[in-house]
Homo-oligomer: A and B are copies of this chain.
Amino acid sequence: MGKTLGPFVPAPETATGAFFEGMMKRTLLVLICTISCFGGARAWETLAVSPPIPQDNPQTADKIELGKQLFFDPRFSSTGTVSCNSCHNLMLGGDDNRPTSMGVHGRTGPRNAPTVWNAAFHITQFWDGRVASLEEQAKGPVVAQPEMGMDNLDVAIARVRAIPGYRDAFARAFGGENPLNVDNAAKAVAAFERTLVTWNSPYDRWARGEIDAMTPQQVRGLKRFDQLGCSGCHQPPMFAGPRKPGGHFAVFPFHDGPFVGQYRLKDDVGRYAVTGRESDRHKYKVPTLRNVALSAPYFHNGAVPSLGEAVRVMALAQLNAGLDEREVADIVAFLRALTGEFPDITLPRLPATEGISLIEP
């Protein structure tokens, strides 16, 4: 974990050093809180400079640019209206702010779109962790009938092949014979997605010693988040499940309670649908909390409308803890500190099909 996900940064020690340089009252309070909460022992990791790069898919500029084009191109959906970016909107929090996404013909699927921001740090993909890599993930939505709705990947890649500019772009990115194929398309999209990292959230800056980067309320929220046990599953630096081989899955909801019926939390069987193992019923990958303030509504079915309510639901359903409103507000404030800085992205020009359309009426 340490090598690929970055060093442990001992934030409280750094803050202690800063203390002797003289700081204002508010900073002092934050510092005291930080030390008393975490005792100088708890280390808060920040996001690594780069996500892990697979050996068989090194990052190159040509490949990333091609992946960006494919990511934004709606012509590989049956109706020509849905691209990766439709549901994983990079202008927003990397999702679509809908309970479940709307694909071709206005169809909706059963699950909430996970954010694509920082997805490269996950070791499994999809809510049920059914694939291990971004490369494998990229092939799924293209042929999902409520998403991009193509009959199969051969039909989809035939559309790519029909566009002269893509033939050139695949040759530049991959070389070799017949470079324009499904696996290379998935590799290109994955390479682009590995650039979608949001560094420098207030939390990251705070954890690197910039003690004013989080407000006192946010630090209080982090403390409560940690004390309650949220960080047992939502572990820094991704505030997602631990990076153990095969992935980390948690039963949700763990405890019964009023929210389970209210938000239909058990209607979905979770990872059981993938493995058929009874022990995987209602199990899900622990999603990242980075940029979680931007991705309402919440949970696998998107049934919970607000972040405050999501905090209440998690506390009760996972930890059997009732929170008062101040605790909820503090934790929400902390979660907002996980919103990072978004890189500038130039809109790609999509290669043309001159004088014809690939979309059937």
Contact = CB atoms under 8 A, between A and B. Distances in A.
Interface of A: 72-75, 79-81, 86, 89-93, 96-99, 102, 104-107, 293-294, 296-297, 302-303, 305-308, 332, 335-336, 339, 342, 344-350, 352-359, 361
A355 B329 CA distance: 11
Contacts of A358: 97
Given A91-B347, A105-B106, A352 B81 contact: no
A293 B164 CA distance: 14
Contacts of A91: 72-73, 347-350
A105 B91 CA distance: 22
A127 B354 CA distance: 22
What is the predominant secondary structure among interface residues of chain A facing chain B?
A: loop
Contacts of A352: 92-93, 293-294, 339
Copies per complex of this chain: 2
Contacts of A297: 357, 361
A357 B93 contact: no
A338 B104 CA distance: 32
A355 B81 contact: no
Contacts of A98: 79-81, 357, 359
A296 B360 CA distance: 11
23 contacts: A72-B91, A74-B96, A75-B97, A79-B98, A79-B102, A80-B102, A92-B350, A97-B358, A98-B359, A99-B359, A104-B106, A106-B107, A293-B355, A296-B355, A296-B356, A302-B361, A307-B354, A332-B355, A336-B355, A339-B354, A342-B349, A344-B346, A345-B346
B74 A356 contact: no
B296 A353 contact: yes
A74 B85 CA distance: 12
B79 A305 contact: no
A33 to B, nearest CB: 23
Nearest to A352: B294
A129 B264 CA distance: 49
Contacts of A355: 293, 296, 306-308, 332, 335-336
